[in-house]
Homo-oligomer: A and B are copies of this chain.
Amino acid sequence: MEKNISPLQKARADYKPKLPKVLAQFGSNLKASVGGPTESVADQLQVKALFPNTYGLPVVTFDGPSADKAPSIKAGVILSGGQAPGGHNVIAGLYDGLKKMDPQNELYGFKGGPSGLTENKYVKFTDSFIDEYRNTGGFDIIGSGRTKLEKEEQFDTVIANCKALGVNAIVIIGGDDSNTNACMLAEYLLKKKAGIQVIGCPKTIDGDLKNEWIETSFGFDTATKVYSEIIGNIQRDANSAKKYWHFIKLMGRSASHIGLECALKTQPTYAIISEEVAEKKMTLRQIVTDIAKAVKTRSDAGKDFGVVLVPEGLIEFVPEVKNLIDELNDLLAANSEYFDRLSDDDKMQFVGSKISAESALAFSGMPASIKMQLLMDRDPHGNVQVSRIETERLLIDMVGDILRIWKAKGEYKGSFSCQNHFLGYEGRCAAPSNFDADYCYSLGYTASALIGAGMSGYISSVRYLTKSADKWVAGGIPLTMMMNLERRHGKDKPVIRKALVELDKKPFLTFASKRADWIIEDAFQYPGPIQYFGPSEVCDLTTVTLELEHN
């Protein structure tokens, strides 16, 4: 065991994750009932052409034991991309499933993400090794990494390394990109008749790997519960001190699922959803004016405090800012040497003279600090580092400007003191909630069953998640089924379609129907910390998003 672990970890180590009935009853050597051939969500012809061996595979579900003898399996597993609560339980479920099928089966963990597979860095898992990590947060069991596994040379190295070890199945735990690459690897291995299967598992706290077959990706439940605990505490503080506006930026660049879920859980004064901003083509000016109006409305009612939730990726969803950033990237990349020699003032002037009128307008409206950030803080390719831009401070600054003008006109009499927060690392490695502990363990266990059933190019799927775990349905979805073509760096790439917040679906509509009230009355909710041992209605609830999408 880990040396002197915390009392909660000790108590939590004994937790036995719940499994779908078929897995609990018959173990992992199961009969796969297959449906008809499938199609990709879009661009069927192109996707089919790219994936001749993995396209059109049937959806698979497990509902009974297999009559055949279990195959003998040596599997390898990797963690890919950003941390999400529950990764350790996916590996524990996979390990237990393999051992249940045949005690001789083995599981190797490739270290540091996808590069572990190409660099052949691995550990062989044992009972005591796995036991140390059951129901814990983090990816530290084997580490993670962001290396992209997409080139044929890499695939050939993978084959060589797996052959040398005798590994005949690979499980890739990752987000949409990692699972896209998992499918490319599966396709290549089938083409080469390498005799190595590939199974994916859906991970991301952002919640954007989601569709008809993947109801939610693991970690989203736990991470949003941790963020909501903190948001609730800050709201209670705002409502007690009654003197600050707290602007809280929430992790999640490509979609606002986290912000929406946290808003539904905590009922803040105000919350911004990036997808709505893009859909309505809102300008930065409109966004901050709307916030300023909310501040004024409350101030007129004697309330100079509140909480605003801001999605990390917001500014990339503001059309004018997105254009500005695209123009800056092109401009500065093309002129970097010359540009870097200029003084700050000359830089401003140079940029002002070269970008479009719309972008110039957007640029001129920004606070000096952000302007400099846009010009100075660039990555090795000369690109603006969007993730470094402190959107929450940008909003505070611009809202403040508007309120000062209104105050000068006598239209606003309040005070606008702000605190800003960014919630990201606080939740990515939290110990999984009961839901994520069960879901992740089931995903890993199901992956072992998919391997046992000889599948490749599938993502482990556990569905009907709003029901109790015993009623969950375990199976596999062909990765090609979730794909479409998207433009990346100037060429069409097959990718798993990202799930954005849909403005015509229940989660957003529910939020939209309540938010006007939240500005006026204090409807703050205080979810409190994740509980593991209490009454089921406290400990086993999953996300509001999932409830609204499926009940």
Interface residues of A (CB under 8 A from B): 3-12, 82-83, 136-140, 143-144, 226, 229-230, 232-234, 236-237, 239-242, 246, 265, 419, 421, 425-431, 523, 525-535, 537-538, 541
Task: Flag if A240 contacts B530 (CB, 8 Å).
Answer: no
B residues less than 8 Å from A531 (CB atoms): 8, 529, 531-533
Task: Flag if A237 contacts B428 (CB, 8 Å).
Answer: yes
Closest-by-CB residue of B relative to A12 is B528
B residues less than 8 Å from A11 (CB atoms): 534-535, 537-538
Task: Flag if B8 contacts A237 (CB, 8 Å).
Answer: no
Residue of B8, B233, B239 near A430 (CB, 8 A) is B233
Task: Flag if A526 contacts B6 (CB, 8 Å).
Answer: yes
Task: Flag if A237 contacts B429 (CB, 8 Å).
Answer: yes
Q: Name 15 interchain pairs, CB-CB below 8 A, sorted by A.
A: A6-B528, A8-B534, A8-B538, A9-B526, A9-B528, A10-B537, A11-B537, A136-B526, A140-B240, A233-B428, A234-B429, A430-B529, A529-B530, A529-B531, A534-B534
CA distance A241 to B534 in the complex (A): 32
B residues less than 8 Å from A241 (CB atoms): 82-83, 139, 143-144
- Tell me, rounded to whole Å, the shortest Cβ–Cβ distance linking A238 to chain B: 8
Closest-by-CB residue of B relative to A136 is B526
Task: Flag if B139 contacts A240 (CB, 8 Å).
Answer: yes
CA distance A3 to B514 in the complex (A): 14
B residues less than 8 Å from A530 (CB atoms): 529
Given A4-B525, A9-B528, are A137 and B426 neighbors across the interface (CB < 8 Å)?
A: no
B residues less than 8 Å from A229 (CB atoms): 529
Task: Flag if B532 contacts A7 (CB, 8 Å).
Answer: no
Nearest first, the 9 closest Cβ-Cβ pairs linking A and B are A529-B529, A533-B534, A236-B429, A138-B236, A8-B528, A139-B240, A237-B429, A138-B240, A140-B240
Task: Flag if A425 contacts B9 (CB, 8 Å).
Answer: no
Task: Flag if B233 contacts A426 (CB, 8 Å).
Answer: yes
Task: Flag if A233 contacts B534 (CB, 8 Å).
Answer: no
Residue of A83, A144, A229 with most chain B CB atoms under a 10 A cut-off: A229
B residues less than 8 Å from A7 (CB atoms): 537-538, 541
B residues less than 8 Å from A230 (CB atoms): 230, 426
Task: Flag if A431 contacts B140 (CB, 8 Å).
Answer: no
CA distance A233 to B229 in the complex (A): 14
CA distance A268 to B257 in the complex (A): 32
Given contacts A7-B537, A140-B240, 15 further A-B contacts (CB under 8 A): A6-B526, A6-B527, A11-B535, A11-B538, A82-B241, A137-B236, A138-B526, A143-B240, A144-B240, A233-B428, A233-B429, A236-B429, A430-B528, A431-B526, A529-B531
Closest-by-CB residue of B relative to A246 is B425
B residues less than 8 Å from A6 (CB atoms): 232, 265, 525-528
Task: Flag if A233 contacts B427 (CB, 8 Å).
Answer: yes
- Tell me, rounded to whole Å, the shortest Cβ–Cβ distance linking A64 to chain B: 36
Residue of B10, B232, B236, B541 near A140 (CB, 8 A) is B236
CA distance A241 to B541 in the complex (A): 29
CA distance A394 to B418 in the complex (A): 21
Closest-by-CB residue of B relative to A419 is B425
B residues less than 8 Å from A426 (CB atoms): 230, 233-234, 421
CA distance A21 to B234 in the complex (A): 36
B residues less than 8 Å from A526 (CB atoms): 5-6, 9, 136-138, 431
B residues less than 8 Å from A138 (CB atoms): 236-237, 239-240, 526
Closest-by-CB residue of B relative to A6 is B527
CA distance A103 to B233 in the complex (A): 34
Given A9-B526, A240-B143, A431-B528, are A425 and B534 neighbors across the interface (CB < 8 Å)?
A: no
Given A6-B527, A11-B537, A532-B534, are A237 and B143 neighbors across the interface (CB < 8 Å)?
A: no
Closest-by-CB residue of B relative to A228 is B6
B residues less than 8 Å from A240 (CB atoms): 83, 138-140, 143-144, 429
- Tell me, rounded to whole Å, the shortest Cβ–Cβ distance linking A76 to chain B: 19
Residue of B8, B82, B421, B425 near A425 (CB, 8 A) is B421
B residues less than 8 Å from A232 (CB atoms): 6
Residue of A11, A230, A237 with most chain B CB atoms under a 10 A cut-off: A237
CA distance A31 to B244 in the complex (A): 45
- Tell me, rounded to whole Å, the shortest Cβ–Cβ distance linking A397 to chain B: 15
Residue of A236, A431, A534 with most chain B CB atoms under a 10 A cut-off: A236
B residues less than 8 Å from A535 (CB atoms): 11, 533
- Tell me, rounded to whole Å, the shortest Cβ–Cβ distance linking A133 to chain B: 11
- Tell me, rounded to whole Å, the shortest Cβ–Cβ distance linking A84 to chain B: 10
